[in-house]
Structure 1
Amino acid sequence: MKHLTSRDNALFKHLKALTTSTHQLRKAGQALLDGVHLAQAYLDAQGTPLQCVVSERHFDHAEVVPLLRRVPDDRVVVLADALFAQIATVANGIDLMLVIDTPQGKLPARVDTDCIILDGVQDAGNVGSILRSAAAAGIPHAFLATGCALAWSAKTLRAAMGANFHLNIVEHCTPELLLPRLAVPLLATSSHADAELYDVDLRGPVAWVVGNEGAGVGPAWMAAVTRKVGIPQPGGLESLNVGAATAVCLFEAVRQRRG
C-alpha cells in the first residue's frame, strides 16, 4: 500500500485535478467514485479499480475494510486526513474513493430495444436521476448528445447511485449518428402532444428523447419523433422537471408490460 502525506505528491495532484475539473476527467479518461455505495456498486458490477483511495481515519472503518479486501494491496492508497479532505466530493461521508477508467459505451449497429436519448440535459443531477430511472426500468442503452452534462462526473454519479454500471452509456451522440440505427419508435413529451401518455401503447420497445431543462428537445431530434405525448397534470403546473417526466414515461411502459 502507498501512504501519502505530502500535497506535492504527483498522485495527489492528479486526484485533486480530477475532483475539480470535468475537463481533466475527460482528458484523463477516468472517473472518481466517492463513497462506500458507489465503490460497492462498481466492485460488484465491474471488478478491480485502478486505485482505491482511503483516508487514515477511515482505513479501519467497518464499512471500508470489506471493500479493501477486494482490491489488490498495490492499488490501495492511504491519504493523510488533511489531504483527503481536499479531494472529497461528499460532505461528512466515509473517506473512500475509487479511481477507474471511464467505461466506454458501444454504439450498436441496430437499436431494436428500449433506449433513452438525452439531448442537451445540462444539469448533472438531472442526468444522474434519468440514468437511475432508466436502469431501474430495465432500459439497456442511454445515449447522450453533445451538450449534456458528463455522465461520469462526481455529481452525476452521486445522483445515479450506481446506475451507470448497469447501462450502456454512449456520449457525444448526434442525430446523424444515432437516428439511422434506431429500429424502434422515437417518442418525446410535448405540450403540443398528439395523445396523452396513458393512452399510448408502450408494450413494445421504444426510444425516448428528453431535452434541455429550458429549451426542451432540439429541432433535429424532434423532427425525427414518431409521436409526441403529453403527461396529464391536473394540478395545473406548467411542466415537470425533466427527471421526473422521464421517470413517469419509463414506468408507464413498465406498468403496461406487467403480465
Structure 2
Amino acid sequence: MKLISSKDNPFYKRLKLLAQSSHQRRRTGQTLLEGVHLADAYLGAVGQPLACVVAEPALHDPEVAAIWARVEDSLRVCLPETLFEPLSTLVNGVALVFLIDMPAGHLPKRQTTDCVILDAVQDAGNVGSILRTAAAAGVRDVFCTSGTALCWSSKVLRAGMGAHFMLNIVEHCPADALAPRLGVPLLATSLQAQTSLYGQDLRRPVAWVFGNEGAGVSQAWLDRIETPVRIPQPGGMESLNVAACAAICLFEAVRQRDEA
C-alpha cells in the first residue's frame, strides 16, 4: 500500500486533474470510477485497475474493505480524507475511486448486429441511461458522434451503473465513417412518421439513431434513415425524453424477438 500525505505529490496532482477536467480525461485516455458499485463491476468485468485510491477512514467501511482486499497490494493508495475530497463528485459518497484506462472501443468492418448511435446527445444523465438500457437489452455496440457527452465522465459513469464494462463504446464517430459500415437497417423515431414503432418488424438486427435533446437527429443521419418510426403518445405530449425513447425502442425489439 502507498500512503500519500502531500497535495504536491505528482500522482495525487494527476488524480485531481482527472477528477476535475474532461479535457484531461480525453488527453490522457484515463478516468476515475467512483464508489463501491462501479469498482465491483469493473473488477468483475475487466479486472485490476491502474490504482485503487481510498480515504483512510473509509477503510473501516465493510464494503470498501471488501473491494480493497480484491485489489493487488501494489495498486492500493491511501489518502487523508482532506486530500480525497477534491477527487469526489459525490455528496456523502463512499471515499473510494479506481483509476482506469478508458477503453477506446473499435469500429467493425461491417456492423451486422444491433447497435445504438448517439447523435450529439449532450446530457450526461441521458447518455448514461441509454448505455444502461442498451446493455440490459443485449445491445453491445454504441457509437457516439461529436457533441455527445463524454461517456467516461463521472456523471455518465454513475448513470450507466456499470453498463460501460459490457459495451463496445466508440466516441467521435462521424456519419461518413460509420454509415458505410452498417450492414443493418437504420432506424430513428420521428413525430411525423407514418409507421408506428409497434408495427415495425424488429425481429432482425437494426441500428438505432437517437438524437440531440433539442435539435433531434442531425441531417447527416436523417438523409440515411431507411425507416422513421413513431412512438404513439395518446396523452398528447409533444415529445419524449431521449433516454425514455431509447428504452421503448430497444425493449420493443426485445419483446418482438421473445415472441417470435
Whether TM exceeds 0.5 here: the answer is yes
Q: Counterparts of 1:248-259 in structure 2 under 5 Å?
A: 248-259=248-259
- For the pair 1:46 / 2:46, whether they are aligned, the reply is yes
Could you tell me whether the CA contact under 8 Å between 1:196 and 1:230 is conserved in 2?
A: yes
3-state SS, counterpart of residue 150 of structure 1? coil
Could you tell me whether the CA contact under 8 Å between 1:46 and 1:165 is conserved in 2?
A: yes
**CA displacement at 1:256 relative to structure 2:** 0.6
The residue type paired with residue 247 of structure 1 is A
**CA displacement at 1:194 relative to structure 2:** 2.9
- For the pair 1:81 / 2:98, whether they are aligned, the reply is no
Q: Quote the Cα distance in structure 2 between the aligned partners of 1:35 and 1:75.
A: 17
**CA displacement at 1:86 relative to structure 2:** 1.5
Gaps of 5+ in 2: none
Q: CA RMSD in A?
A: 0.8
Partner of 2:116 in structure 1?
116
**CA displacement at 1:134 relative to structure 2:** 0.3
The residue type paired with residue 140 of structure 1 is R
Superimposed CA distance per residue, residues 171-210 of structure 1 (whole angstroms, 9 cap, x where no aligned partner): 1111111111101000000111130111111111000000
Superimposed CA distance per residue, residues 41-78 of structure 1 (whole angstroms, 9 cap, x where no aligned partner): 00000001000000011113100122112211111110
Superimposed CA distance per residue, residues 12-33 of structure 1 (whole angstroms, 9 cap, x where no aligned partner): 1111111111000001110110
Could you tell me whether the CA contact under 8 Å between 2:19 and 2:86 is conserved in 1?
A: no
Q: Quote the Cα distance in structure 2 between the aligned partners of 1:110 and 1:68.
A: 41
The residue type paired with residue 90 of structure 1 is L
The residue type paired with residue 184 of structure 2 is V
Superimposed CA distance per residue, residues 66-101 of structure 1 (whole angstroms, 9 cap, x where no aligned partner): 211221111111010011112111111111100000
Q: Quote the Cα distance in structure 1 between the aligned partners of 2:227 and 2:32.
A: 38
TM-score normalized by the length of structure 1: 0.98
Residues 132-141 or 12-21, more deviating: 12-21
- For the pair 1:193 / 2:193, whether they are aligned, the reply is yes
Q: Quote the Cα distance in structure 1 between the aligned partners of 2:31 and 2:255.
A: 35
Partner of 1:205 in structure 2?
205
- For the pair 1:133 / 2:143, whether they are aligned, the reply is no
Could you tell me whether the CA contact under 8 Å between 2:117 and 2:144 is conserved in 1?
A: yes
Could you tell me whether the CA contact under 8 Å between 1:32 and 1:154 is conserved in 2?
A: yes
Q: Quote the Cα distance in structure 1 between the aligned partners of 2:194 and 2:30.
A: 43
- For the pair 1:159 / 2:166, whether they are aligned, the reply is no
Could you tell me whether the CA contact under 8 Å between 2:54 and 2:78 is conserved in 1?
A: yes
Q: Quote the Cα distance in structure 2 between the aligned partners of 1:143 and 1:36.
A: 27
Superimposed CA distance per residue, residues 115-155 of structure 1 (whole angstroms, 9 cap, x where no aligned partner): 00000001111110110000000001000011110010000
Partner of 1:37 in structure 2?
37
Could you tell me whether the CA contact under 8 Å between 2:114 and 2:205 is conserved in 1?
A: yes
Could you tell me whether the CA contact under 8 Å between 1:194 and 1:227 is conserved in 2?
A: no
- For the pair 1:232 / 2:229, whether they are aligned, the reply is no
Gaps of 5+ in 1: none
Identity %: 58
Number of residue pairs the alignment of both structures matches: 259
Displaced runs of 4+ in structure 1, greater than 2 A? Answer: none
Partner of 2:27 in structure 1?
27
The residue type paired with residue 219 of structure 1 is Q
Could you tell me whether the CA contact under 8 Å between 2:122 and 2:147 is conserved in 1?
A: yes
Partner of 1:222 in structure 2?
222
Partner of 1:64 in structure 2?
64
Q: Counterparts of 1:143-154 in structure 2 under 5 Å?
A: 143-154=143-154
* Structure with the largest fraction of helix: 2
Q: Counterparts of 1:167-178 in structure 2 under 5 Å?
A: 167-178=167-178
3-state SS, counterpart of residue 249 of structure 1? helix
The residue type paired with residue 172 of structure 1 is H
